Amino acid sequence: SSRMAQFKLVLLGESAVGKSSLVHRFVKNQFDEFRESTIGAAFLTQTISLDDDTIIKFEIWDTAGQERYKSLAPMYYRNANCAVVVYDITQSESLERAKAWVKELQRQANENIIITLAGNKLDLEQNREVPTEEAEAYAKEAGLLFFETSAKTGVNVTEIFTEIAKKLPIE
């Protein structure tokens, strides 16, 4: 018989790093070159099944990255079981912003929150500013799952959610 569990997931990170695009790739398996930027936050759900017949339903809050919405973020991460903090591998300052989000989560969110760092836009390798090893070393030190992804090609997108699902506590 199959088991079912649902978890809240929040996406955080600077504006335009590809948070909404990652969610749309995961939920609809689509990518739009000209996605409108998120206002406030968007809510989406998606289920995945694990090898052991467990079905995981993710309730996803895709937040807006702009500074003017920053004060709303705690509403979305306060009850979250997991967070995906996104940066853009072609913008090194977006990793600095991601690190600040991780710090805030580690101080203020649920103490068992599972945090993943995602370096997005892997298809733009020719414009890379953040070396894989640098982000990976930081993720390891901070205790985060780490992936480099492309919402455009789909590389590693499902993998993020599958790895998180495997770490979530299921009775």
Applying CB under 6 A, the residues found at the interface with ligand GDP are 13, 15-21, 33, 35, 37-38, 65, 120-121, 123-124, 150-152
Structure tokens that stand for 25 in this block:
């790739």
3/36 Cα distance (integer angstroms)? 37
Give min distance, CB of 14 to ligand GDP, in A. Answer: 7
Binding at 18: pick from ligand GDP, Mg ion, none (beta carbon under 5-8 Å per type): ligand GDP
Which residue in 70, 58, 79, 67 sits closest to 157, CA to CA? Answer: 58
What angle do helix axes 157-167 and 19-28 make, rounded to 10 degrees? 80
Binding at 5: pick from Mg ion, ligand GDP, none (beta carbon under 5-8 Å per type): none
- Residue 13 or 101: the one with the smaller Cβ distance to ligand GDP is 13
- Residue 77 or 168: the one with the smaller Cβ distance to Mg ion is 77
150/39 Cα distance (integer angstroms)? 22
Give min distance, CB of 37 to ligand GDP, in A. Answer: 5
Q: Yes or no: say if 167 and 113 are a contact pair by the CB < 8 Å rule.
A: no
Helical spans, DSSP H, in 5-131: 19-28, 73-77, 92-108
- Residue 2 or 71: the one with the smaller Cβ distance to ligand GDP is 71
Give min distance, CB of 120 to Mg ion, in A. Answer: 12
Give residue number: closest CB to ligand GDP: 18
Residue 85 is given by DSSP the state E
Contacting positions for Mg ion (CB under 5 A): 19-20, 38
